[in-house]
Amino acid sequence: MSVHDTLDELVALVEGARSMPMSSSCVVNRAEVLSLLDELRAQLPEEIDAAANVLRRREQVVDSGRAEADEIIAAAHEERMRLVSQTEVYTQAQHEASRLRAEAEEETRRRRDETDAYIDGKLATFEITLSKTLAAVTRGRERLRDEHSDDPVDDRPLPGD
């Protein structure tokens, strides 16, 4: 029998007891009431122990849940930090790659400009040399013509005239 059943039986005993005339009192069988109360006394520690066990288990479940929640939160924080770190590393790598690319492009432009200037200088020198050579050739041909213009034998035009 459970505690509730014993209490129900005790209530039924009191409700079914004979009333005292002109009073709210009743007559109950002492032995029956004491027997039911002894049963209650015996059952209550078991019920109280069972309830205490349920409460302890409840506390353990709650504590376990809290511990698991704390672990999940800690793992989430670690994962967030890892992802943020990776994102920062990626961002830094992107910036560094952009910086290096810009430096390489600038160095390429600078070297191309230097090369163009060097080649232009060499071509200008070559042009001057060719102009001087052409002028010398022209003067030499003119001198040659002047020297032979008095000569009646050779009135032929020179090639290229």
Asked if residue 151 belongs to a domain, the reply is no
The model's confidence at residue 154, banded by pLDDT at 50, 70 and 90, is low
Asked if residue 47 belongs to a domain, the reply is yes
Report how far residue 1's alpha carbon sits from residue 16's, in angstroms, rounded to the nearest whole number.
Answer: 21
Each residue of 21-33: pLDDT tens digit? Answer: 888 888 888 898 8
Which of 7, 81, 89 has its CA nearest to residue 41?
Answer: 7
Asked if residue 90 belongs to a domain, the reply is yes
Asked if residue 65 belongs to a domain, the reply is yes
Q: Give the pLDDT of residue 72.
A: 94
Q: Give the pLDDT of residue 103.
A: 94
What are the E-state strand segments in the chain?
18-19, 26-27
The answer on pLDDT for 1 being more than 80 is no
Q: Which domain holds residue 36?
A: 3-145
Q: Give the pLDDT of residue 160.
A: 66
Q: Give the pLDDT of residue 49.
A: 79
Asked if residue 99 belongs to a domain, the reply is yes
The model's confidence at residue 141, banded by pLDDT at 50, 70 and 90, is very high
34: how many CB neighbours lie within 10 A of its CB? 10
Q: Give the pLDDT of residue 155.
A: 57
Assigned token pair, 60 = 């353990």
Question: In total, how many domains does the chain have?
Answer: 1
Q: Give the pLDDT of residue 148.
A: 74
Asked if residue 76 belongs to a domain, the reply is yes
Residue 89 host element (H or E): helix 30-148
Cα–Cα distances in angstroms (integers) from residue 125 to residues 34, 121, 135, in the given order: 134, 6, 15
Asked if residue 74 belongs to a domain, the reply is yes
* Range 122-150 average pLDDT: 90
Which residues neighbour 37 within 8 Å (Cβ) at sequence distance 6 or greater?
A: 10
Asked if residue 152 belongs to a domain, the reply is no
